[in-house]
Amino acid sequence: MNQSPRRNLWPYDELSASRESEADNKFILSAPWLTRQFRVDNNDVQRAEQISKKISDKKIGAEDLNDVNWFLSSFSSYPFAYILPRNAVFGSDLHDSVGNKANLSSPRMTLKDLVQNPSVLNSVNKISEDGSLTQDWTWDTEAALEFSKTTDGYDPESLFSIARRFHLLNDMENNQTADLFNLLQTFPKNSAEFKSHAALTMRQNHYITENCERVLKAALPIAKGAYDEISEFIQAESGHDKILAKALTTLDTSADQTPALPSTIVLMELFYLIAKRNILAFSMVVDIFERTSYLEEDPFASVLKSGGAEAAASRIEVHREINDASGHENVGIGFLKDMKPVTAEYATEALKLAELLTQVIHLISKETLEQIKAQK
């Protein structure tokens, strides 16, 4: 098995870097979705200041690659940078898409083409026809291919880092979770209304964890060299639904009494089909699901506490601590370590499937909001 060389990083377009003050050796990395601070040795302050200014001024060039990687090396696990394509030292696994060629003409057509499970067809048709999905693809696939091109195809790790940025940009624009949490906090503390609406919100997370094992196992037959890593991830995720089920009981309800919304059901069916089909897309999607807030307390746990649901909040925190301790926010890229450069067709499908799932996952907060407002 070949070992990947050190990943060469390149700042995301949105990344800025600065020194906090001339009297300090503290520097700040900032993207619209995350800010981090760090210190450098006194002897390295001038070097750090020079490269941080180049990053912020968008004036870095190939000659700055070593300095860029030195500057960002401590933050390689954070969503701050692209991974540059390699020209050598890839794994030996050749991957092709499994199944019939998908209709990738638009998000709507791809969803309708892939999801044929009779139990979710009504929800698929609703999402496809009511304008919930964009009419055309929004991720710049051509630019992604150009950026990730290597000698024998397209670097899967580079493509992974591009998909991560695209998702985060979409998340800023379309994720309504903050609005949902703000709405929950308008209900009286310890009220039946708060418990009911918090339970509906939690049930969507519970449904996802409840179906996680079935979905993840679907990737194993096509995993090749990633088989062990995916198996370990499945084992690490086992039982998480029981934690959230207990949280639901503290809100005076259960999974049987609280519905999984159509968008949540469609999401997990789509994830299942992606897992069976394309390991690169699967890795991108796992990364989407395992994103962390990087906050000291889970935002939903904070909302639950403010509403008087401390017992439910403590279980949400247990769930988050398990994920954080396992480093799950970066587990997805590990599935690509043995993958050879991929074809343009395989890469394009992976990017479009990841974009489609991004659009569907954002419908959950939107639909939950609408459901709660309809009951006010």
Q: Does residue 345 carry a pLDDT above 90?
A: yes
Helices marked H in the chain — which ranges?
A: 45-56, 65-72, 107-114, 121-129, 141-148, 156-174, 177-184, 192-210, 212-217, 227-237, 240-249, 262-277, 279-289, 299-306, 310-325, 331-334, 344-374
Q: Does residue 105 carry a pLDDT above 50?
A: yes
Q: Does residue 356 carry a pLDDT above 70?
A: yes
Point out the least confidently predicted range of 86-95, 269-278, 280-289: 86-95
- Nearest 5°: CA angle at 235, between 232 and 238? 155
Which tops the pLDDT comparison, 323 or 38?
38
Q: Which tokens hold the place of 293?
A: 């807030």
Which tops the pLDDT comparison, 4 or 216?
216
Arithmetic mean of pLDDT over the chain: 94
Q: Does residue 5 carry a pLDDT above 70?
A: no
Q: Does residue 287 carry a pLDDT above 70?
A: yes
pLDDT recorded at residue 229:
96
pLDDT recorded at residue 154:
98
Q: Does residue 25 carry a pLDDT above 80?
A: yes
Q: Which amino acid, residue 268?
A: M
pLDDT bin (cut points 50, 70, 90) of residue 329 is confident
Q: Does residue 323 carry a pLDDT above 80?
A: no
DSSP-derived pairing of the beta strands 26-31 and 34-39: antiparallel
Q: How many CB atoms lie within 10 A of CB 92?
A: 11
pLDDT recorded at residue 326:
67
Q: Does residue 89 carry a pLDDT above 50?
A: yes
Q: Does residue 173 carry a pLDDT above 80?
A: yes
pLDDT bin (cut points 50, 70, 90) of residue 3 is very low
Q: 299-306 and 192-210 helices cross at what angle (nearest 10)?
A: 150
Average pLDDT over residues 134-142: 97
pLDDT tens for 216-262 read 999 999 999 999 999 999 999 888 899 999 999 999 999 999 999 99
Q: Does residue 103 carry a pLDDT above 80?
A: yes
pLDDT bin (cut points 50, 70, 90) of residue 1 is very low
- Which domains are delineated in the chain? 9-83 (no CATH), 107-374 (1.20.910.10)
Average pLDDT over residues 6-29: 91
pLDDT recorded at residue 124:
94
Chain center to CA of 60? 28
Point out the least confidently predicted range of 15-29, 42-56, 98-112, 156-170: 15-29
310 and 304 in contact (C-beta within 8 Å)? yes
Q: Does residue 169 carry a pLDDT above 50?
A: yes
Average pLDDT over residues 329-340: 94
Q: Does residue 288 carry a pLDDT above 50?
A: yes
Q: Does residue 99 carry a pLDDT above 90?
A: yes
Q: Which long-range contacts (CB under 8 A, 24 or more apart) does 34-37 make?
A: 34/78, 34/79, 34/80, 34/294, 36/75, 36/78, 36/80
Q: Does residue 327 carry a pLDDT above 80?
A: no
Identify the DSSP state of 77: T
**In percent, how much of the chain has pLDDT > 70?**
98
Identify the DSSP state of 254: -
DSSP-derived pairing of the beta strands 9-11 and 16-19: unpaired
